[in-house]
Each structure stands twice: as C-alpha cells, then as structure tokens.
Structure 1
Amino acid sequence: MSENRNKEITSVGRRKTATARIILSSGTGKMLINGRLPETYFSGVPRFQENIIAPFLAINGLKQYDIKAIVTGGGIMAQSEAIRHGISRALSSLDVGFKSALKKKGYLTRDARAVERKKPGKAKARKSFQWTKR
C-alpha cells in the first residue's frame, strides 16, 4: 500500500487467482472497474456489486471515496471479492479507526482457499481412477 502526493492510496486485493489493484481517493463515490461502471462490469448482478460496497457500509462512508480498480484473473465472483479485499486494505491504511470495523466483518482476511492441484496417480486432485476387482 502506497500513498501518492494527492492523497491517493493504492492497495492490492486477492481471491483465488483474481488480483485487484485498487486506487482509493477522496471524492463523491464514483467507482470504475477496468474503466467500466460496476453495473455494466458485473452485468447488473446485485450480489457482486454488494461485495464491492460492503467495506464502505461497514465504516459508514459510502459516498466519501472514489475507487478505480484494475482486476485480472479468476471469475466474476472472485474478482468482486478481490476488489472488496483491496478496498478494505486501502481503507484500513487510510484510518486506523476503520481497521477494527473491517476486521470484525472479515474483510481484511485473505481467503486462502484455492483449487487443489492434481496429484500423480489420481484422476483429479482426490478422485482415483476406476478400480476393477477382477
């Protein structure tokens, strides 16, 4: 997380293989994800948009900050959760008072669950090949 001279805070959020680079600045609540509005980027699915605004609702600061996010990798759900993680990290570095509220909701914790790798001698990560008795 770094801070530029015009009070922009950058942070990174991750989930599975999705990575979100977040630029947070004080403003009026504008959000851009890969240059598009959240409504168009997430095809109007409310659950993904709720993921993004959840950190702001936790600190009661919905229309106080502008967000610019560059997201790569993963699916749409993982991308929205990566954005949420990045926004939470940026807000916690902005004000120490926000950290406890965000930590209580679990937004600062990186979800470490990822796809388990395929093992040799197995069909998938845990599935065995079909076994024939005779």
Structure 2
Amino acid sequence: MEQTHALGRRKAAVARVYISAGAGNVTINDRPLEDYFKEDALRYIVNQPFAVTETEGKFDTKVTIVGGG
C-alpha cells in the first residue's frame, strides 16, 4: 500500500501527516477524530478537503502533532 506524507513546521511545533488508501479513518495523536475534536465545526474543517475533492471515505489519515504550546 502506498503512503504519502508531509511535514509542517512553525516555531517549535511539528506536524506530520500520513495519507494512505483506506476507509476514511482520521487519527490525530493516536486518537480518533471524534475524540480529538469535540466540536462539529472543527471536524468539518478537517474533512473539507476530502469533500471538495470527492474522496470522502477513500483515504485514511494519520496526524502527529508535537509542540506549539
């Protein structure tokens, strides 16, 4: 299975994102999206790129965030 990844840095914060073919699961710091973001508006923002590209439910996303206060 092919996996695509990206790295973002800002001051002391580092975010790593891994996307692979899957069932549409989103995991942030080893927690499901629903546990990490309790507000519907924040979950909507996370899923918006998949909705715009009509790829909802086709990719699993794993995000690791460290630092940043």
Match of 2:40 in 1: 46
Q: Which structure features the higher share of helix residues?
A: 1
Taking only the aligned residue pairs, the percentage that are identical comes to 33
Q: Which entry has the higher C-alpha Rg, 1 or 2?
A: 1
- In structure 2, runs of 5+ residues without a counterpart are none
1:28 CA displacement: 0.8
- In structure 1, runs of 5+ residues without a counterpart are 1-5, 76-134
Write out aligned runs for 1:119-130 (5 A).
Answer: none
Give CA deviations for 1:6-40 in whole Å, capped at 9, x if unaligned. Answer: 30011124567643201100011011111101111
SS of the equivalent of 1:25 reads strand
Task: Label 1:41 to 1:25 Cα distance change in 2 as closer, same or farther (>3 A).
Answer: same
Q: Does 1:11 align with 2:41?
A: no
Question: In 2, Cα distance between the equivalents of 1:49 and 1:39?
Answer: 7
1:41 CA displacement: 1.0
Matched residue pairs, number? 69
1:74 CA displacement: 3.4
Structure-2-length-normalised TM-score: 0.82
RMSD: 1.9
Q: Which structure features the higher share of strand residues?
A: 2
Write out aligned runs for 1:1-80 (5 A).
Answer: 6-13=1-8, 18-42=13-37, 44-74=38-68
Structure-1-length-normalised TM-score: 0.45
Higher relative contact order (CA 8 A, sep 6+): 2
Letter in 1 for 2:3: E
